[in-house]
Amino acid sequence: MKWEAEFLRSLSGLRCGFMDAFMKFFSFICDYGWFLISVVLILLINKKTRRIGIEAAVTLIFTALITNVIIKGLVHRVRPYEAYDFIEVLTRKPFDSSFPSGHTSNSFAVAVAVFIHNKKIGIPLIILSAGIAFSRLYNGVHYPTDVLAGIVIGVTVPIVVHIIMKRIMEKKEVK
């Protein structure tokens, strides 16, 4: 879409050494899922946050499958840097489809799963997720609609997982 190309072109006007480094870092922390998996493991280890960790783990697994396996496998959208020669990529070039943003969906999924139970930890994770989402645009590896779809998936899946897990727990308590 033309508006997406123009939006991405406008982001190049923000580029400077500090912002470039900052945005590379935001994208890096979600590369290969290491940061999100670490958050989930920390939650699982602590007895007080174990239930949050379980929901976050289930959410992350489902979100990754929906985004990175199912939708990307069906859509096959080319990356912006493959479509437009004016886009300079600041991070490693992803090898998979552009739509939707896996970094965005996965980071929001964990953040919202945590937020549902613990606002104090969840709010900083949501702010971090917003930075990650913006970094995907800034770094030239996603279109705005890729990131928006990632946010929608990343917010929806943890809510659905929470509702299902709550019902499962309620059924166990009734028995």
Using alpha carbons only, how large is the chain's radius of gyration in Å?
Answer: 17
pLDDT (mean) for 12-29: 90
Q: What is the pLDDT of residues 124-162, one digit of tens each?
A: 999 999 999 999 999 999 999 999 999 999 999 999 999
Q: Which of 3, 2, 6, 11 minimizes the C-alpha distance to 137?
A: 11
Q: Is the pLDDT of residue 175 over 80?
A: no
d(CA 137, CA 140): 5
> Residue 92: its pLDDT value, please?
87
Altogether, the residues listed in the chain come to a count of 175
Contact 150, 90 (CB under 8 A): no
Token pair of 142 as six digits: 């996603």
Token pair of 125 as six digits: 């994770």
Backbone angles phi, psi at 87, to 5 degrees: -90, 125
Contact 135, 26 (CB under 8 A): yes
The model's pTM: 0.93
pLDDT (mean) for 104-132: 97
Residue 168 — pLDDT band, cuts 50, 70, 90? confident
Q: What is the pLDDT of residues 30-74, one digit of tens each?
A: 888 899 999 999 999 999 999 999 999 999 999 999 999 999 999
2-174 CATH pick, 1.10.8.60, 1.10.606.20, 3.90.700.10, 3.30.200.20: 1.10.606.20
d(CA 167, CA 154): 21
Q: Is the pLDDT of residue 169 over 90?
A: no
Domain-wise residue ranges, the chain: 2-174
